[in-house]
Amino acid sequence: MTAEASARPAAASDDGELFRAIYPALHRLACVVCPPERDPEDLVQEALVRTLRRGPLIELDAPLAYLRRAVVNLAANERRSLGRLRKAAPRLATTDEAEPAAYPSDVALLSALGPLDRAAVWLSAIEGQTAEHIGQILGCSPEAARTRVSRANKRLRTLLDEEGADR
């Protein structure tokens, strides 16, 4: 397990102190995996709610890793729900579909990946995490994490190639 995975301020005596310490890393990952229609803070708060239902943060062995995994899981579920919502909306005619934000092109490339793939790329390429740790966050084996990283990188490269071809 990496240092960050087990990050817990040694002196943290309550959830407030602990959460303040781990919040920046949690927020960054939430931004990475969050669907464009949603606010990453909502993901963070929902992950926190689900975690607190089980007990205080300070009782967790690896609170940051736990919360990050919860955020990733929520993002993956959100994406699927939103996808279905978009398809159902015209027929139900009862939902307001938010217009996805118009992002600069490179951000749009990242947005073309699924949240798990974005998380895999972020954790491997930016944070430099091991396959073991990535698997811990994504909820899969190191081998599966490595495969996901590889596929996501390939997908990104394909998108970059397409973008280059379009220019």
Partner 1 sequence: MTRLEDAFDDLIAQHPQGDPDAILAAARDEVAADRSQRRTRYGLAAAAVVLALAGLAATVVATRDDPDDHVRAGKGPVTTTLPPAERTVRVAFTKGTGAGCKEVETVERTIPGTGPVRVEDRVAFAMAALLDGPTAAEVQRGLTSPFDGDGLHVRSVERSGGLTTIDLDQQITSTVDGASTGCGSDSILAELSATLSDIEGSAPRRITIDGDPDAFWYWLGIEPPREGPFATTDTFAPEGDPAGYAVASVLGVTLRIGPAVNAGVGISRDPAASAYAIGTDLVVFQGTEPDVDVIVPPVPPVPSGEIRLWAKDEGIETLVVGSGADEQVLLDAGRVDGSAQALVALRSGDTPDTTRERLVLVDLETRKVQEVVDMAAWESGHLQARLLSDGDVIGLISGEGQTSVVRWTSGSDEPVWSTPAESAGYPAIAVRGDRALVVDTPSGGSGSLRMRPLTLETGALGEPTTASAASGELWCSDWYDRDELSCARNGSAGAIDEQGRWRPLTTPTGAVVTASR
**Which residues sit at the interface with partner 1, rule CB under 8 A?**
15-16, 19-20, 23-24, 27-28, 30-32, 34, 39-41, 44-45, 48-49, 52-53, 69, 73, 76-77, 80-81, 83-85, 87-88, 91-94, 101, 103-104, 106-107, 109-112, 116, 121-122, 125-126, 138-141, 143-144, 147-148, 150-151, 153-154, 156-158, 161-162
Which has the closest alpha carbon to 74: 51, 43, 45, 42? 43
Tell the smallest beta-carbon distance from residue 97 to partner 1 (Å). Answer: 14
Tell the smallest beta-carbon distance from residue 160 to partner 1 (Å). Answer: 8
CB burial of 7-30 (b: ≥16 within 10 Å; e: otherwise) equals ebeeebeebeebbebbeeebeebb
Q: Is 6 or 16 the residue whose CB approaches partner 1 more closely? A: 16
The residues, any chain, with a CB within 8 Å of residue 11's CB and separated by 6 or more, are 17
The residues, any chain, with a CB within 8 Å of residue 59's CB and separated by 6 or more, are none
Tell the smallest beta-carbon distance from residue 129 to partner 1 (Å). Answer: 14
Tell the smallest beta-carbon distance from residue 2 to partner 1 (Å). Answer: 17
- The whole-angstrom separation of Cα 94 and Cα 96 is 7
Q: 36-42 — which CB contacts under 8 Å span 24+ positions? A: 36/100, 36/101, 36/103, 36/111, 37/82, 37/98, 37/100, 38/78, 38/82
Q: Is 6 or 81 the residue whose CB approaches partner 1 more closely? A: 81
Tell the smallest beta-carbon distance from residue 10 to partner 1 (Å). Answer: 18
Q: Is 3 or 121 the residue whose CB approaches partner 1 more closely? A: 121
Q: Is 1 or 103 the residue whose CB approaches partner 1 more closely? A: 103
